Structure 1
Amino acid sequence: MSAYGHHMEQEYSAQSLSSREGSERASSYVMESGFYMSSFATTIFIASLVTVGLLFITLLIALTVMLQSCESKSRGAVEAQKGSYDSNYCHLFSLHMELNNFEADQFPSVCRVVALQYIKEGQYARDLNSTMWMIEDYFGSITPQHDGDVVLMDVDDILSSDPQYSNVSMHRYDHYGCSDCVEEAKHLKHMLILRLYMKLHANGWPLILLSRKPETHRNTSVEYLVTAGFTAWSSLILRSEAELHMDSSDYFSRRRATMQREGFRIMSIISSHMDVLRGPLLGKRIFKLPNPLYHNLEHQIEDTHTPK
C-alpha cells in the first residue's frame, strides 16, 4: 500500500474511533439522564412521600376516631333506651303490684336496681318535695269546719326507721353502691313528713295515725314516734289480734267505716302505700307520697342480696 493510502487508512480509522467514542458517550449520557436526580429534586420527592404518608395516617386516625365515636353514641343510645325501658316497665309493674296486693318476692330483681337508681339520681327527692308542696298548698286553702274533721296519716314509713323494725344492716346497700343515698332519702322523707305533720297540727287539724303493726307494739311505736318528733296526735291505730291476718286494704277500710260510725269526717288520707288509699270512705282528697318500691326498701334489698 502506498504511503498516501496508509495515511488515509489511519485517518479513517481515527475518525471511526472518534465517532464511535462520541456515540458511546452520547449513549451513556442518555442512559444516565434517565436515573439521575439532583439533590433538590430528591428532597422534594422524599418530602412528598412523607406528606402523603402523614395524610394517610391522619386519615386512618380520623376514621378510627369517627368509628369509635359512632360506636359510643350507638352504645349510649342503646343503654339509654334500655334504661328508659326498665324504668317504665318497673313503674308499671310496681303500680300493678300495689293495685293487686302482690307479695314482695314477686318484684323483679331488675326493678330493685332501678328503684335504687331512682333514689341515687335524686329523682325520688324531687318527687317527694313536689308532692309535699301539693299537700301543703291544698291544706293552705282550707281549715277544719266541723269538730269531727280529721286527717289520716300512714306512719309506717316513719316506724320502719325504728331499729326494732329495720333488721337490715347498711352493708347490704353497699352491694349497689348506694348506702349513703338510701340513708339520705330516709332522712329526707322523715323530715318532710314531720314538717307536714307540724303544719297540719298547727293549723288545727286533728291527726289520726295509721299503722299495719300489731297492737302489741303500741308502747314501742309511741316511744319512737315521740322521740322522732311526732306528738299530740288524736289517735294511733294499730291492728288488733283479730285483724292480724286480714288483708291490709280490708283492715284500713274496716277502720275507716268505724270512724264514720263514730262521727268522724275524713278530709284527707296521706300515705306512700296503695292499700290505705283503696276502698270506700276515702274522704275528700287522698295524697300518695312517692315510694321507690311497693314494699319496704330494706326487705327488697335483702331479698336481692341474699344468695338463692
Structure 2
Amino acid sequence: MKTLLFIFVTLLATCHGDVLNHVHEHGSNFKIFPLRMKTGSGGHYIPEVSCASWRLGVEAHNIIDWKTVPIECENYVGNYVLGDQYRADSKFVNREGFYYARTVNVADDGKDIWVFDIDETTLSNLPYYAKHGFGVNPYNDTLFNEWVDLGAAPALPETQKFYNKLLNLGIKIVFLTGRPLKQRDITAKNLKKVGYHTWEKLILKDTTLYHGKTAVTYKSSERKKLEEEGYRIIGNIGDQWSDILGTNTGSRTFKLPDPLYYIA
C-alpha cells in the first residue's frame, strides 16, 4: 500500500505542478495509473483506441450534446488530464495564441482585448474532478458550487503564461464566464490569488437575464456588448466550443482541451 501511495504521489508531483498539488491536498477517491495498453498479435502493444478516438471526436466537435464521459473511459480521461499530454496540448494551444497575438498591431487606445473563459481555461477544477470522478458522474450543481466557493482552484499554468505575455504586449484581458453573478467576489479573489492580477472586465452570468439560454447565446450577447462599447476582440480562448462559437467571436479563436464535460 505504501508503494502504491508513493507511486501516486510521485505521479501527481511530476505531471502538473501546482494543479496536481491541489489534487493531492484536497484528496482523491480515484487511483491514477499509466495509460493502459493492450497486447496485439505477436506481443506488440497497442493503445486503447476507442477512448482516444472518443476524445478526438469530442475535441473536434464531432461528438456533441454528450452528458458524461463513457464509464469505460474514466481511467483514460483521468490519466490524460493528470498527465503530461494534457499539459502539452494546453501549451501548444496557448503558444499558437501567442504567435498570433504578437503579429497584432496593438492600438494606443486600450481597446484591444482578449477574451478568456475561466473554468478549465484560466482556472482548473481538477481537484474537484479527482475527488468526484473524471466526468462519468452527472453534473452536481450543489457539489460543484461548494467547490467554487472555496476559491481554491489553481491556475492552468500554460494559460497563465499566455495571459502574462498578452499583458506585456499591451492587450487588455476580459474574463467571460458562465459562473453566476453571486460568485463574482470569490472568483475575483481566486483569480488574484493564483496570479491573474489584472483585467479590464470580469463578466459573470446574470441567470435571470439569460435563464433558459444556451452558453453560445449568453457569450455571444456579452461579446456583442463589448464591441458596442468600442472594444476590439482580437482573440478569444476557451475549453468549450460554446466559448468560441456564435457571433462576435473575435478575430481569432482558440480551443483548449477538455474531455471532462460539454456545455452547449
Which TM class, normalised by the smaller chain length?
0.5 to 0.7
Partner of 1:152: 115
Match among 226, 230, 233 for residue 199 of structure 2: 233
> Which position in structure 2 is the counterpart of 1:211?
177
Contact 1:159 1:221 in 2 (8 A): no
SS in 2 for 1:242: coil
Instruction: Provide TM-score, normalisation by structure 2.
Output: 0.67
Matched residue, 1:138: 100
Question: CA separation in 1, counterparts of 2:132 and 2:237?
Answer: 31
Q: Give TM-score, length-normalised by structure 1.
A: 0.58
Matches within 5 A, 1:66-215: 74=41, 76-77=43-44, 80=46, 83-93=48-58, 95-96=60-61, 100=64, 102-105=65-68, 107-119=69-81, 122-145=84-107, 147=109, 148-157=111-120, 158-161=122-125, 166=128, 170=131, 190-215=156-181
Aligned partner of residue 199 in structure 1, secondary structure: helix
CA distance in structure 2 between the partners assigned to 1:252 and 1:113 by the alignment: 32
Q: Which residue of 2 aligns with 1:253?
A: 220
Seen in structure 2, the aligned counterparts of structure 1 residues 90 and 141 have a Cα distance that, compared at 3 Å, is closer
Q: CA deviation at 1:273?
A: 1.2
Query: Using the alignment, how far apart are the partners of 1:73 and 1:155 within structure 2?
Result: 42
Residue 216 (structure 1) shift: 1.0
Range with bigger deviation, 247-256 or 139-148: 139-148
Counterpart CA distance in 1 for 2:221 and 2:88 is: 34
Q: Which residue of 2 aligns with 1:243?
A: 210
How far apart, CA to CA, are the structure 2 residues paired with 1:86 and 1:190?
A: 24
What is residue 302 of structure 1 aligned with on the other side? Answer: none
Number of residue-to-residue matches in the alignment? 204
Is the 1:243–1:251 Cα contact (8 Å) retained in structure 2? yes
What pairs with 1:8-23 in structure 2 (closer than 5 Å)?
none
Matched residue of 1:208: which SS? strand
Deviation track 1:117-145 (CA, whole Å, cap 9, x = no partner) reads 33455222221222222122222222312
Q: Which runs of 5+ in 1 are unaligned?
A: 1-71, 174-185, 297-308
Alpha carbons 2:113, 2:172 under 8 Å: kept? yes
- Give 5+ residue unaligned stretches, structure 2: 1-38, 135-152
The answer to whether the 8 Å contact 1:249/1:275 transfers is yes
Q: CA RMSD in A?
A: 2.9
1:221 aligns with 2:221: no
Q: What is the CA distance between 1:284 and its match in structure 2? A: 1.1
Match status 1:269 vs 2:248: no
Aligned in 2, Cα 1:253/1:75: closer, same or farther, shift over 3 Å?
farther
Residues 94/198 of structure 1: CA separation in 2 closer, same or farther (3 Å cut): closer
Contact persistence 2:59–2:258 (CA under 8 A): no
Which structure is larger by alpha-carbon Rg, 1 or 2? Answer: 1
- Tell me which of 283, 288, 294 is aligned to 2:250: 283
- Deviation per CA, 1:168-219, whole angstroms, max 9, x where unpaired? 564867xxxxxxxxxxxx96x6222111111111211011111101111111
C-alpha distance in structure 2 between counterparts of 1:285 and 1:96, whole Å: 18
For 2:180 and 2:203, how far apart are their aligned partners in 1?
9
Cα pair 1:112 1:293 within 8 Å, conserved: no
Matched AA of 2:95: W
Query: Quick one: percent identity of the two aligned structures?
Result: 24
* Superposition deviation, residue 228 in structure 1: 1.2
